[in-house]
Structure 1
Amino acid sequence: MPRTALITGASSGLGVEFARHLAATGADLVLVARDRAALEQVAADLRRRYEVQVEVLPADLLKRRHLARVVDRVGDREQPIDLLVNNAGFGLPLDFARNDIEDEARHLALHVEVPMRLSHAALGQMLPRGRGRIVNVASVAGFIPRSTYGACKGWLISFSRWANGEYGPRGVTTTAICPGFTHTDFHARMGLARGEEGIAPWMWLDARTVVAEGLRDAARGKAVSVPSLRYRVLMALTRLAPPSVAARMGQRGR
């Protein structure tokens, strides 16, 4: 069980579920997100319900000065982070040609550069101690063609596999958690209500299940975690499907 976990994107969605799950195990937390008021509300609830220490670190990870503060906190050897959860992210429409290129650049930075920098900082203080875990929230989209979102998540999966093989034997594991469609407020923030994704009800996952299964796999040292049997079967089938079929699968949903 980690003593202290730092979670990015901790004010909503899967980030809150990670915080609740870890607090329930007795872990102290450092919560990172842009919205200070939302973070304070989450922190107050966790302190009251679980009697754990919760540090609030408001930061816009796309601003260099803010990101530097979080990098410093992750790399602090006097107050070490035992579990880093790289969860912050946002979605864009899948039509790359129509998207604003600056939005795409910010999307790339938040999904790739930010977790890379935070992972580097975490390794700097975890490897000398010979223990630690890094969790990168990826997606099953990383296994199929799905515009730049799938490309970013594919990078996270590949990086996590490599890092786990490289540093796992030295006590620091890295796990890419790859959920499918999950009920959180992620889609609401894109202006979509439930049912507007065009996705069959059976394909939706519960956020608590995703977090519980993902953290269980991380504790076991797995490089890649695909929560739920249904998605593990689907991902196995995509490896056998022709590229054209995989591409059509990637066009489903927004």
Structure 2
Amino acid sequence: MTTALITGASSGLGAEFARQLAAQGHGLVLVARSQDRLDALAAELRGAYGIDVEVLTADLTDPLGLGLVGTRLADPSRPVGILVNNAGLGLLHDFHHTPIEEEVAHLRLHVEAALTTTRAVLPGMLARGEGRIVNVASIAAYLPRGTYSAAKAWLLSFSRWANGHYKRSGVLVTALCPGMTRTEFHARMGMETRWIPGWAWLQADRVVREGLRDNLAGKAVSVPSMLYKTVAVASRVLPARLMAGPARHPRR
């Protein structure tokens, strides 16, 4: 088994990626800002699966943190065979109400971090003739939902191109585009979710399982569930005003 590096690994989809890849026997490098949560997850996975787990505390919106992760990915003596770009955040308010510093950090995390980590790991993968990259995008990549959608659309487009360009060299790149998923993501951004019906939610284990399966199959895009596959198709033909959805509201 190879080593997988996962960003945003301390909770949600990132932690689920760690658990499923650990169960497959892969060694792990867990990246996030929360040292305590990473240490707890690392101890859990070492005990459950007997694998090597490295913890790397880094803020990917900071050049020093991103540089640290890039250096680890490019280290030829400790090759990384699977990269999961999962770190992300959501912005609750409209663009004109959000401080520009938050928008810039949002852009760096979703676009610059994925670009930098992919560039760092790719030469080693190409030299070995194999590698896997999963970029966690969102169904929002298909929808007109502000700068979050714009950032995820970049990630979707980048992944499609990279998979087509590097698959022949053994490197598989997939954009994973889930819909509403039960994690801490929405609570962290302060979004009210009680109005969202139960049938609209996906479970994290399913999202990760389908994303890893589609990546291994060489698919450029993975959209878990028929519901969100339908949303992706509908976005090509329905008016933007219908696909934008309701405004986000803060939790009460």
How far apart are 1:253 and its partner, in Å? 7.3
- 1:185 — aligned with what? 184
Report the equivalent of 1:243: 240
1:77 alignment partner, SS class: coil
State the partner residue of 2:215: 218
Tell me, yes or no, if structure 1 residue 66 matches structure 2 residue 65: yes
- Matched letter for residue 207 of structure 2: V
Structure 1 unmatched ranges of 5 or more: none
| Superposition TM-score, scaled by structure 1 size | 0.95
Equivalent pairs counted in the alignment come to 250
* Distance (Å, rounded) in 2 between the aligned partners of 1:174 and 1:101: 31
Matched residues, percent identical?
54
Structure 2: how far apart are the matches of 1:212 and 1:94? 32
Between the aligned partners of 1:226 and 1:83, the Cα distance in structure 2 is 20
**CA displacement 1:76-97 (0-9 Å, x = unmatched):** 1111100000000111114000
Paired residue type of 2:223 = V
Distance 1:251 1:233 in 2: 21
* Residue aligning to 1:163: 162
Superimposed CA distance per residue, residues 101-125 of structure 1 (whole angstroms, 9 cap, x where no aligned partner): 1100000000000000000011111
Partner of 1:176: 175
TM-score by length of 2: 0.95
- Give the equivalent residue in structure 1 for 2:230: 233
Deviations 1:108-162 (A, max 9, x none): 0000000000000111111111100111000000001010000000000000000
- Hey, what does 1:42 align to over in structure 2? 41
CA offset at residue 227 of structure 1?
A: 0.7
CA shift digits 1:175-208 (9 cap, x unpaired): 0000000000111212346x43x32211100000
Separation in structure 1 between the aligned mates of residue 91 and residue 111 of structure 2, nearest angstrom? 15
Partner SS state of residue 240, structure 1: coil
1:128 counterpart SS class: helix
Structure 2, unmatched stretches of 5+, are none
Q: Secondary structure at the match of 2:124?
A: helix
- Aligned partners of 1:141 and 1:250 also within 8 Å: no
Equivalent residue letter for 1:126: M
Provide the alpha-carbon RMSD of the alignment.
1.4
Cα offset for 1:246? Answer: 2.0
Q: Which one is further off, 85-94 or 147-156? A: 85-94
Alpha-carbon distance in 1 for matches of 2:183, 2:146: 21
Does the aligned pair in 1 maintain the 2:92–2:249 contact within 8 Å? no
Contact 1:164–1:175 (8 Å) recurs in 2 = yes
Match of 2:233, as an amino acid?
Answer: A
Instruction: Give the whole-Å Cα distance in 2 for the aligned partners of 1:237 and 1:192.
Output: 25
